[in-house]
Structure 1
């Protein structure tokens, strides 16, 4: 169990032993998709709306495709962006700044500047960090993908990378996406696309988890992928592989679904069932890259109906996570459309996040907020502070 949740349970038990006091006045109910009418400013922040031991996070925009956009680096240049990031969230994930092509641009050179800045930012603001990612088929540097390396050299390169990067942040990163998107849609290993699996065989996956655990014994180590929200061939493949690795004593601690959804398609109704079966294996679970894109009208502005449907998808996903005991981390893949990856990769689509370009909160934001508040136990005082 997450240690914070464990403390929360202890506090709950203590609360039951205290004399009953007058209940605090209830906040005025909020209107549909609107803010709660509570005067406490902290109550308007997602991180303070969450139940104890639950992490509500955002990707930190920057690196990768952002380098090609017509704006300066969001994290370092946009003061308002940073202010909202620290006030609203208690967890952050580097969107691109810890991926191979960014953090390891040359074989003998690492670039830790941005990753360091994010980890330091999180420490200053009482946030945890999700590290992303160590073994992946995409966004690898040219020197790696086009290099003429022997199997022994490749194995050494991966091990050194994991030991260096994970070791640098040992004790400062809560969860790591160790193996990212290793299966295709039919549940087959990406034996051609993924350089590590292609050249070193599937056993390298277990080695990556072992090395990451060696570099930081305290971090939770995850499988992470998209289109594994529901029970399907792809999530079945992760379920079977995870069981095999656990039987072998490999330090796999978690399974996470990214949650890149679209209102064009139905909501994955077996999300809770899927998370629960991994939870029953003793794993932590998480939703790590949640956004809900849509095809935009010619005006470029989403309709009210689209925004309501989007809000419903966010609510259903968060509720499914909250219903599973070991799912204590819900991360949205950026909180503002201003820096969203979606329009860059999905032509004609967008408005996938919970805030507009000018940081106006959408119905999806308020749906997340109210869902978090509804999940708070009766004894948890939220932003008001403990009564003793």
Structure 2
């Protein structure tokens, strides 16, 4: 797939044309564009949204975008495929790849001057039937061969076009799950096949991704991984083990799927700092803040205010750690949020179904505007990889 850019030649302009341009400039100053999240962010921090390309972008016409596409293209400077790069969508049969949704996202991003975070290469969930069914019978070498082919094919296709990859997603289960905090060896068909040394396989997945695209920044990623807890302690140990073995691990991502039914973990910044001290990038990769609603499906004013506070809490933890390279919301409008389909909660995003901006949106915008006047970087260029 080629993303060629049209080169426009310079032509002489008449005095009338110059005057018209000058008048247009005055008009633009009199009626400036509204600020956007991506436009107000520090230059060294990407502000992104997840999007399902197969559902939302296949019909994209740069000259005639719909309202959703216009907002997606203007508010954010980073996109994450919500589903289009997961195995079930991308690799539905052993010898079949379907890149249509993923390609649509890549093409939309290029048309709108955005970058893309890849998501995800190794996960226990949303795998196609052929992987789930065959996984239990694979030898470790068979599992490695399938996984290496997938990583090389997918990462190689988009080499040089994806700035960060969630290489391994949700590897460690929570402490309240049966068996406590540990690798999801039984649930993940690849780790199960290589259960004698699953960490070696994880390290090799990072190596295969790095070989396919040496420029991409490669992440571990999980939920309930915002603050310092038993789960992130396990990730901290895993990161140290992978780094000691020479694996090209570059980052740690906290998803940021929060609920107002629970408190906010104030140790989020400290957690990011300890991973940054290992030399890793950090990121908020899938932020939303859901809540139980009343009988009419509405939140209270207190919930709306607290939602804005929680979103800002995650953003502040990111802004205060220069190694934090991206802050991504998991969809920006309630109509496309995954939350109501999974939880008995809702109102989780920063805009309503009608694209009305919530207080959470304006709180994020204000914090981004205040963080670094003039979009100056938080650290000198090149200080972090």
Q: Note whether the superposition's TM-score is higher than 0.5.
A: yes
C-alpha distance after superposition, 1:347-382 (max 9, x if no partner): 2x100000000100000000000010010236849x
1:90 equivalent in structure 2: 77
Q: Supply the distance in 2 between the matched residues of 1:315 and 1:61 (Cα, whole angstroms).
A: 25
- Asked if the contact 1:42/1:48 (under 8 Å) is kept, the reply is no
Corresponding pairs, count: 334
Q: Could you say which residue in structure 2 is the equivalent of 1:50? A: 41
Partner in structure 1 of residue 5 of structure 2: none
Asked if the contact 2:139/2:194 (under 8 Å) is kept, the reply is: no
1:53-92 correspondence runs (5 A): 53-61=44-52, 73-76=55-58, 79-92=66-79
Task: Say whether residues 1:292 and 2:295 are aligned partners.
Answer: no
Segment drifting more, 143-152 vs 287-296? 143-152
1:228 alignment partner in structure 2: 225
Q: Deviations over 1:254-294 (max 9, x none)?
A: 00000000111111110000000001111000000000000
Contact 2:331-2:349 within 8 A present in 1 as well: yes
Q: Could you say which residue in structure 2 is the equivalent of 1:174?
A: 163
Question: How far is 1:328 from its partner?
Answer: 2.0
Once residues 294 and 113 of structure 1 are traced to their aligned partners in structure 2, the CA distance between those partners, rounded to angstroms, is 34
Residue 353 of structure 1 is matched in structure 2 by 349
1:302-317 counterparts in 2 under 5 A? 302-317=299-314
Query: What is the CA–CA distance in structure 2 between the aligned matches of 1:156 and 1:270, rounded to whole Å?
Result: 40
Task: Indicate yes or no: 2:366 matched with 1:370.
Answer: yes
* Paired position in structure 1 for 2:268: 271
8 Å Cα contact 2:138/2:193 also seen in 1: no
Q: Please state whether the residue corresponding to 1:366 is helix, strand or coil.
A: helix
Please give the alpha-carbon distance, in whole angstroms, between the structure 2 residues aligned to 1:220 and 1:122.
18
Deviation per CA, 1:86-135: give whole Å up to 9, x if none: 00000000000000000000000000011011011111211110000000
Aligned mates of 1:39, 1:96 — CA distance in 2: 41
| Aligned counterpart for 2:129 among listed residues 131, 142, 158 | 142
Instruction: Work out whether 1:245 is the aligned partner of 2:257.
Output: no
Change (3 A) 1:62 1:343: farther
Which secondary structure state, in structure 1, belongs to the residue aligned with residue 205 of structure 2? helix
Residue 321 of structure 1 and its aligned partner are, at CA, apart by: 0.4
> How far apart are 1:43 and its partner, in Å?
4.3
Range with greater deviation from structure 2 (201-210 or 135-144): 201-210
SS of the residue aligned with 1:291? strand
Q: SS where residue 302 of structure 1 aligns? A: coil
Indicate the residue corresponding to 1:193 in structure 2.
187
SS at structure 2 position matched to 1:189 = coil
TM-score if structure 1 supplies the norm length? 0.83
Corresponding residue SS for 2:373: coil
Name the SS for the 2:282 alignment partner. strand
Deviation at 1:149, TM superposition (A): 3.1
Cα RMSD (Å):
1.6
> What's the secondary structure of 1:292's corresponding residue?
strand
| Shift in alpha-carbon separation, 1:264–1:379, aligned structure 2, 3 A | closer
Change (3 A) 1:259 1:379: closer
| 8 Å CA contact retained: 1:322, 1:328 | no
Structure 1 unpaired stretches of 5+? 1-37, 64-72, 382-388
In 2, Cα distance between the equivalents of 1:280 and 1:40? Answer: 45
The TM-score normalised by the length of structure 2 is: 0.84
Q: Distance in 2 between matches of 1:96 and 1:378?
A: 35
Cα separation, 1, equivalents of 2:375 and 2:211: 39
- State how far apart, in whole Å, the 2-side matches of 1:231 and 1:242 are: 14
Aligned to 2:322: 325
> For 2:226, what is the secondary structure of its paired residue?
coil
Shift of 1:41: 4.3
CA distance in 1, matches of 2:185, 2:139: 17
